[in-house]
Amino acid sequence: MPAGALLQMVTTRDISRHGARLEGIEREFTPGEIISLSYRNNKARFQVSWMGDARTNRAGEMGVQIIAPCEVHLGCRNFTPGNDRYVCC
């Protein structure tokens, strides 16, 4: 794992071919930041779209957009909501 990288289990709330809404995020990310998500043995890069404000019911949530087509990397057809690992690049 690269120096300064964060490995964390998160919950996928919504998933599509274009992105996802994650919850259980423990640190602040900046919109535009690139992260990697791993699901089973597959990995894909995403760009952070938004972070939930700590003063709202979206605290700990993050929206991400896939950088490459989802079906190539994560097999979205078999991707079900649940706990997933992500690591910030």
* 7-88 CATH, one of 1.25.40, 3.30.420, 1.10.10, 2.40.10: 2.40.10
The string of pLDDT tens digits covering residues 38-68 is: 777 777 889 999 999 888 888 889 999 988 7
pTM (predicted TM-score)? 0.69
pLDDT of 82 over the 60 cut: no
Which residues touch 65 (CB under 8 Å, ≥6 apart)? 18, 19, 46, 47, 49
3-state SS track over the chain: CCCCCCEEEEEEEEECCCEEEEECCCCCCCCCCEEEEEECCEEEEEEEEEECCCCCCCCCEEEEEECCCHHHHCCHHHCCCCEEEEEEC
**pLDDT tier for residue 32 given thresholds of 50, 70 and 90:** very high
**Extents of the domains making up the chain:** 7-88
